[in-house]
């Protein structure tokens, strides 16, 4: 009899516990609902611009500040046959993974007439790591051999149609204009330079130098979205 | 004895109901192909993100809210493009810290050009992007989402 009493008591308590927890979890849900919209409200939805250059388009020149505090334009490079323009930055792990490869490309192709021009397109308000001061620090640390320019006011990257870092635009000088010849990735493996299957950019520059067709002329790779 | 039974039971019931954050399941190109080829009867909201991607992290609450609100009708699948080496050091701690309830997969395949076109021909690799899959329908979004807009897109596909 006593056992039955205890069992009943336990059953009743269990029932209360279930109900109570139901109320508690209901409350937590309500709290959650109240919180979530506030955290989201701050953000504005932005569709990324897909306009920009295609192969064969004329790329704009620019006047952007370099990490040595000089102003740099493509027209300053009188000897160049073209340019390897790479939108890149400090904060993005993909960009960081490619730093050594970008230096190697500059060393290899600068003397052949195709120097690397790196441009940081990000807004430092969105990514403090990408400030002009931090660009100087990173360039110093890594020993960048190429100009590392700051797209102040973010006027240049949308004209090119860069959406991410790193994002490459290979240009060739033709009759005083810079014509877009290749758009996309540096190669096909950000993680391991020794395991590359397709050395897209190096192959493209070599084809350009040899007057051959570039194929593929557009490639894709994961990158960090450029933030306004 | 009886005095401790009630608090004990209460504790057990509550702890059972406390949602446990997800851990990322690593998938390879084959797993990705399988996912992309599927024609799910339950609508899939597939979001590509990474812990290092600020706009991705900013929009995760919208996906979490969607999963909670439509758990019977929708599978939110968060595909992390973090490197697999960072699974235990960055990805799982992130999921725990943010109490992520949607299922999470980490795509371990460094040759991105091999899977990007499977998702959509207009995707050039910037993240975040989102793919909605329902039966044989697909809709790709190269943008960041707020909750209302995400919900509207999902419902419009579901009621087509």
A147-174, pLDDT tens digit by residue? 999 999 999 999 999 999 999 999 999 9
For chain A, the farthest-separated pair of C-alpha atoms sits apart, in whole angstroms, at 104
Helix A2-41 / helix B2-17 crossing angle, nearest 10 deg: 30
Q: Considering only residues 4 to 23 of chain A, which have any Cβ-Cβ distance to chain B shorter than 8 Å?
A: 6, 9-10, 13-14, 16-18, 20-21
Tell me, what's the pLDDT at A227? 84
| B54–A45 C-beta distance less than 8 A | no
- The minimum CA-CA distance between A5 and chain B, rounded to whole Å, is 11
User: Which chain A residues are Cβ-neighbours of B101 within 8 angstroms?
Assistant: none
Looking at residue B10, its pLDDT comes to 58
Element (H, E) at B126: strand B126-127
- ipTM of the predicted structure? 0.86
Task: Verify whether the Cβ–Cβ distance B124 to A220 is below 8 Å.
Answer: yes
**B10, B13, B143: residue with CB nearest A46:** B143
- What tens-digit pLDDT sequence spans chain B (160 residues)? 556 676 666 555 555 556 789 999 999 999 999 999 999 999 999 999 999 999 999 999 999 999 999 999 999 999 999 999 999 999 999 999 999 999 999 999 999 999 999 999 999 999 999 999 999 999 999 999 999 999 999 999 999 7
Q: What number of residues does chain A have?
A: 228
pLDDT score at A40: 34
Give the residue among B71, B76, B65 at the shortest CA–CA distance from B148: B65
- Distance from A191 to chain B by nearest Cα, in Å? 6
Higher pLDDT, A16 or B95: B95
Question: Would you call A222 and B116 a contact, using CB atoms and an 8 Å cutoff?
Answer: yes
Nearest by Cα to B118 from A188, A51, A220, A186: A220
CB contact under 8 A, B144 and A9: no
Q: Which residues of A191-212 are buried (b: 16+ CB within 10 A; e: fewer)?
A: eeeeebeebbbbbbbbbbeeee
Residue range A167-189, pLDDT digits in tens = 999 999 999 999 999 999 999 99
Q: Does the pLDDT at position A5 exceed 90?
A: no
DSSP 8-state class, residue B90: I
- Our CA-based measurement puts residue B12 at a distance from the nearest CA of chain A, in whole angstroms, of 9
Interface A-B, measured as beta-carbon pairs within 8 A, has a size of: 120
> What's the pLDDT at B19?
77
Residue closest to A151 by CA, chosen among A74, A85, A45, A63:
A63
């Amino acid at each position: 009899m006593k056992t039955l009493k205890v069992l009943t008591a336990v059953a009743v308590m269990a029932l209360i516990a279930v109900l109570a927890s139901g109320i508690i979890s209901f409350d937590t849900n309500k709290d959650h609902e109240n919180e979530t919209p506030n955290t989201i409200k701050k953000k504005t939805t932005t569709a990324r611009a897909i306009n920009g250059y295609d192969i064969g388009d004329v790329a704009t020149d620019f006047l952007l500040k370099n990490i040595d505090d000089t102003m740099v334009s493509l027209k300053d490079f009188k000897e160049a046959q073209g340019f390897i323009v790479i939108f890149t930055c400090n904060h993005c792990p993909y960009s960081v993974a490619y730093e050594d490869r970008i230096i190697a490309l500059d060393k290899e192709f600068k003397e052949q007439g195709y120097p690397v021009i790196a441009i940081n397109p990000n807004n430092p308000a969105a990514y403090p790591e990408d400030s002009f001061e931090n660009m100087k620090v990173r360039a110093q640390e890594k020993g960048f051999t190429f100009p590392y320019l700051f797209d102040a006011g973010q006027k240049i990257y949308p004209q090119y149609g860069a959406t991410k870092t790193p994002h490459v635009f290979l240009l060739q000088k033709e009759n005083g204009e810079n014509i877009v010849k290749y758009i996309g990735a540096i190669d096909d493996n950000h993680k391991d330079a020794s395991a590359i299957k397709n050395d897209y950019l190096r192959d493209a520059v070599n084809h350009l130098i040899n007057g051959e067709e570039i194929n593929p002329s557009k490639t894709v790779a994961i990158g960090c979205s450029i933030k306004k | 004895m009886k005095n401790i039974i009630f608090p004990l039971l209460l504790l057990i019931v509550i702890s059972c109901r406390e949602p446990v954050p997800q851990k990322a399941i690593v998938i390879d190109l084959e797993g990705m192909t399988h996912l992309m080829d599927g024609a799910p009867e339950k609508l899939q909201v597939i979001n590509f993100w990474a812990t290092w991607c600020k706009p991705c992290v900013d929009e995760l609450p919208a996906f979490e809210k969607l999963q909670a609100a439509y758990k019977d009708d929708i599978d939110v699948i968060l595909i992390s493009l973090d490197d697999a080496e960072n699974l235990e050091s960055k990805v799982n701690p992130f999921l725990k810290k943010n109490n992520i309830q949607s299922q999470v997969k980490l795509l371990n395949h460094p040759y991105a050009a091999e899977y990007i076109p499977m998702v959509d021909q207009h995707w050039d690799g910037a993240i975040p992007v989102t793919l909605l899959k329902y039966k044989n329908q697909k809709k790709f979004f190269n943008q960041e989402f707020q909750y209302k807009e995400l919900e509207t897109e999902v419902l419009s596909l579901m009621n087509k």
